[in-house]
Amino acid sequence: MAGPRARGSGTVDALLDACASVVREHGGTQMSLLVMEDNPRGIRAYERNGFVLTGEREVAPDGRVELVMSRSLV
């Protein structure tokens, strides 16, 4: 983990843009990801990058709940 020093540096935005470029290059039209429900900072970062909560949830192996988020690339 990059830790507090990387916060606010735009790294997450750049990584998500790079991922979106790769997905588009391979014909993809949507990206999805999982985020822990107790991670409001992560949820906000993904929302800032166009992801929306789908309403789906998954239980991680450690029992914590992960929320599914999705972003259209079209």
Distance between CA atoms of residues 72 and 74, nearest Å: 6
Distance between CA atoms of residues 20 and 17, nearest Å: 5
For the whole model, what pTM was predicted?
0.84
What are the residue ranges spanned by the domains of the chain? 7-72
**pLDDT at 7 (0 to 100):** 64
- Token readout for 11 is 């790294």
Sheet of 52-59: strand order equals 30-36, 65-72, 52-59
Distance between CA atoms of residues 67 and 37, nearest Å: 6
CATH architecture of 7-72: 3-Layer(aba) Sandwich (3.40)
**pLDDT at 8 (0 to 100):** 67
Tell me which residues of the chain have a pLDDT lower than 70. 1-8
**pLDDT at 4 (0 to 100):** 63
Beta strands in the chain (DSSP E): 30-36, 52-59, 65-72
